[in-house]
């Protein structure tokens, strides 16, 4: 009898639990629908009322110096955080009640910025809808040197407190100072979200009901949720979370970062785990990773694409016509196309550093010295400096390395060591500056850097490996790849550091066939030529500097595919030895970024591969698509 009662109770409990989970699932589904409705409604209430010379959305980022000024906001500033997604911005904040002297000090700090993005938080309950006349004088003074974009967070009618708005280049009325309004206002400034709002009622004599300047075109990323790109949040979040959690539990890496964009919308950017296994510092979305061979795409190949676009190189010409040092070598007849597809017959790699030590393991003074001098000033560890011009030895060893007679696919790093010098020879611009001028600065990218320790605090840089055979120390902020080390950290092969958001911007530009932010960086024909498979008849899947899916990838299991089985044949990307992976699929308009330090503390860890971490995550994007 007791057992029957228990059975009845159990069945009842199970049924109630089932109903609860169904209700919870519906509630969650409704919450996503509710968010999208709220987002759409907020977008319709944010109104651009002034935009002199079509200043918004801000398009040219290369020669602008931008500051954000938050006035009257306490606590977390979501507005500034979202602005950071688009370019390098220095942030300032101050209260509403300031003296003339305090505003003068602030003006002195801001006068060197040619653009100032102002978020003005005006709450009539607190300040009775009035502002100090000091602010009007301050804005007038500031506008003499800077273009001012003024965003008012408060009731629309409060804009009359600022007179005829003559001091402002552009004015946005964002109404409530909630997180969503702050995010969307920032996105409107940079073209991540169109401006479509109209005034629901007239404001004074200047702005009639129904007035609003439309900025209808999205030109950069917006930041939303999966449903905004027809993906299922519940499925996608659960899959990515479970794959990352399992990988960290198994010890594939101490932490990782995942970014997914679809249809020009970043719909997932999550971090997992810690910098190292001591669990002292959590991975953050702005953290910077050693990208390893992702450098080949994000730096080396990008530079060559621009040279090709400008007709400075011919892909079918002899490489030795440009790199004349090969004229008298067995490599004199190789062409660019063969080199960039890894089927030129070059050796896979050369351990350059081995010649730097004698048989007892002591450093040879002609290569390494313990003290910094004018000729030895690049530090490779706490007690050794490498000779500045050692790259000449690298060029020599590559030239002298025996060339295979067989022209088949063998992944080789060697030609990528030469590309920075080639860029310098052809353009008279240093390699990193060439990338900055042509891509990184105008795209708003500010974390793609060589020798990251020179640019960012170590707390923001993920440690890579404890080097036990060359540098005998923890590699942190300096390039992990030994070949790039001997090139003073700068190579087309490896050495670049960067964040997920910046890599996504670069890959989206390529997925857009060379455009982003309403700017054409490369001709579409150039992008299509570089991303296409060049030698399928040789069973070589590679594009020019780009990795491509293996042949027949869509027929393979997740264990055997590369990358995910559902990516299109037109997709492209690259992986990195340290545990990095970037991929774009222009057909599906999907960008996938995965960053980790799987080599910490040792490279003798292949779990990232055996667990199929990256391909499984990438496949989850396609599996999460909502069928219409």
Q: How far is CA 139 from CA 103, 120, 146, 522, in A?
A: 10, 12, 10, 39
Inside any domain, residue 232 = no
DSSP string, 119-163: EEE--HHHHTT---HHHHHHHHHHTTTSEEEEEEEB-GGGGGGGT
Last residue of a domain, one of 157, 187, 220: 220
Q: How far apart are the first and last CA of the chain?
A: 52
Do residues 588 and 265 lie in contact, with contact meaning Cβ atoms separated by under 8 Å? no
Say if residue 210 is in the same domain as residue 263.
no
Show the domain range for 556. Answer: 240-623
Residue closest to 134 by CA, chosen among 166, 99, 107, 165: 99
pLDDT for 469 equals 85
Is the pLDDT at 7 greater than 60, yes or no? no
* Tokens linked to 393: 């030895």
Structure confidence at residue 125 (pLDDT): 60
CATH number (domain holding residue 573): 3.40.710.10
CATH number at residue 190: 3.40.50.1700
Q: What is the pLDDT of residue 75?
A: 72
Q: Per residue in 279-317, pLDDT tens?
A: 999 999 999 999 999 999 999 999 999 999 999 999 999
- What digits encode the pLDDT tens for the residues 232-282? 999 999 999 999 999 999 999 999 999 999 999 999 999 999 999 999 999
Which token pair is 555? 């027929």
Domain presence at residue 234: no
Same domain? 284 vs 194:
no
Which residue, 54, 128, 52, is CA-closest to 96?
A: 128
484 shares its domain with 614: yes
Band of pLDDT at residue 344, cut at 50, 70 and 90: very high
> How far are the Cα atoms of 54, 82, 115, 120, 413 from residue 90, in angstroms, in the given order?
23, 13, 11, 17, 38
Q: Are 417 and 396 in contact (CB under 8 A)?
A: no
Residues 193 and 252 in one domain: no
Count of structural domains within the chain: 2
Residues 132 and 272 in one domain: no
194 and 320 fall within a common domain: no
Residues near 273 by Cβ (< 8 Å), separated by ≥ 6?
A: 244, 248, 253, 254, 255, 256, 282, 283
Inside any domain, residue 117: yes
3-state secondary structure (DSSP) of residue 520: strand
Judge if 177 and 116 occupy the same domain.
yes
Report pLDDT digits (tens) over 543-581: 999 999 999 999 999 999 999 999 999 999 999 999 999
Hey, what are 225's tokens?
A: 């949720």
Q: Please report where in the chains the tokens 């055979």 appear, as a residue.
A: 469
pLDDT tens digits along 187-214: 999 999 999 999 999 998 889 999 999 9
* Pair 169, 126 in one domain: yes
> Are 412 and 530 members of one domain?
yes
Can you tell me the mean pLDDT for 99-103? 90
Does any domain span residue 545?
yes
153 and 283 within one domain: no
Residue 123 lies in a domain: yes
Same domain, 259 and 394: yes
67-90: pLDDT as tens digits: 999 999 877 789 999 999 999 999
> Does residue 115 come out as left (phi exceeding 0), alpha (psi in the -120 to 50 range) or beta?
beta
What are 10-44's pLDDT values in tens digits? 344 444 343 333 343 444 556 899 999 999 999 99
pLDDT at 46: 98
Q: Which helix (H) or strand (E) holds 531?
A: helix 524-531
Residue 488: is its pLDDT beyond 60? yes
251 and 125 together in one domain? no
């Amino acid at each position: 009898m007791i057992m029957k009662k228990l059975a009845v109770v159990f069945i009842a409990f199970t049924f109630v639990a089932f109903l609860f989970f169904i209700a919870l699932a519906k509630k969650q589904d409704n919450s996503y629908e509710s968010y999208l409705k709220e987002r759409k409604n907020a977008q319709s209430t944010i109104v651009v009322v002034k935009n002199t010379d079509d200043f918004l959305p801000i398009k040219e980022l290369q020669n602008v110096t931008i500051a954000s000024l938050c006035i009257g906001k306490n606590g977390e500033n979501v507005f500034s955080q979202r602005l950071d997604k688009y370019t390098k911005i220095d942030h300032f904040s101050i209260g509403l009640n300031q003296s003339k002297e305090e505003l003068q000090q602030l003006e002195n700090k801001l006068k060197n910025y040619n653009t100032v993005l102002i978020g003005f938080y005006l709450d009539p309950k607190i300040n009775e809808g009035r502002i100090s006349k000091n602010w009007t004088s301050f804005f007038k003074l500031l506008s003499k040197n800077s273009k001012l974009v003024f965003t008012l967070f408060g009731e629309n009618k409060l804009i009359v407190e600022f007179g005829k708005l003559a001091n402002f280049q552009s004015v946005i009325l964002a109404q409530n100072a909630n997180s969503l309004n702050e995010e969307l206002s920032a996105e409107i400034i940079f073209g991540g979200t169109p401006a479509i709002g109209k005034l629901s009622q007239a404001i004074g004599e200047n702005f009639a009901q129904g007035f609003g300047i439309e900025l209808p075109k999205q030109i950069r990323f917006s930041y939303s949720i999966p449903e905004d790109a027809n993906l299922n949040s519940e499925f996608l979040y659960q899959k990515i979370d479970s794959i990352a959690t399992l990988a960290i539990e198994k010890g594939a890496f101490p932490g990782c970062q995942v970014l997914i964009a679809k249809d020009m919308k970043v719909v997932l950017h999550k971090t997992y785990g810690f910098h190292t296994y001591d669990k002292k510092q959590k991975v953050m979305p702005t953290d910077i990773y050693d990208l390893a061979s992702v450098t080949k795409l994000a730096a080396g190949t990008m530079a060559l694409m621009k040279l090709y676009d400008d007709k400075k190189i011919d892909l079918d010409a002899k490489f030795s016509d440009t790199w004349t040092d090969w004229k008298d070598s067995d490599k004199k007849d190789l062409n660019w196309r063969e080199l960039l597809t890894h089927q030129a017959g070059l050796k896979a790699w050369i351990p350059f550093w081995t010649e730097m030590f004698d048989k007892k393991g002591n450093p040879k003074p002609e290569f390494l010295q313990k003290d910094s001098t004018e000729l030895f000033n690049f530090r490779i560890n706490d007690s050794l400096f490498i000779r500045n011009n050692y790259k000449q030895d690298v060029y020599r060893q590559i030239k002298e390395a025996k060339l295979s007679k067989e022209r088949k696919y063998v992944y080789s790093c060697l030609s990528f060591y030469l590309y920075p010098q080639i860029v310098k020879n052809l353009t008279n611009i240093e390699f990193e500056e060439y990338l900055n001028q042509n891509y990184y600065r105008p795209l708003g990218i500010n974390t793609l850097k060589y020798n990251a320790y020179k640019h960012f605090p170590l707390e923001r840089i993920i440690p890579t490996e404890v080097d036990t055979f060359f540098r005998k120390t923890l590699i942190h902020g300096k390039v992990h790849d030994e070949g790039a080390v001997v090139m003073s950290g700068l190579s087309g092969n490896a050495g670049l550091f960067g964040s997920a958001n910046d890599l996504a911007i670069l890959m989206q530009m390529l997925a857009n066939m060379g455009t982003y932010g309403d700017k054409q960086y490369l001709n579409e024909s150039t992008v299509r030529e570089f991303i296409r498979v060049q030698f399928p008849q040789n069973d070589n899947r590679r594009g020019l500097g780009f990795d491509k899916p293996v042949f027949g990838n869509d027929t393979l299991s997740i264990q055997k595919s590369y990358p995910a089985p559902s990516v299109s044949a037109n997709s492209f990307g690259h992986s990195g030895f340290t545990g990095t992976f970037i991929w774009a699929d222009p057909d599906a308009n999907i960008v996938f970024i995965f960053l980790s330090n799987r080599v910490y503390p040792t490279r003798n860890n292949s779990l990232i591969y055996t667990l199929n971490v990256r391909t499984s995550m990438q496949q989850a994007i396609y599996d999460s698509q909502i069928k219409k």
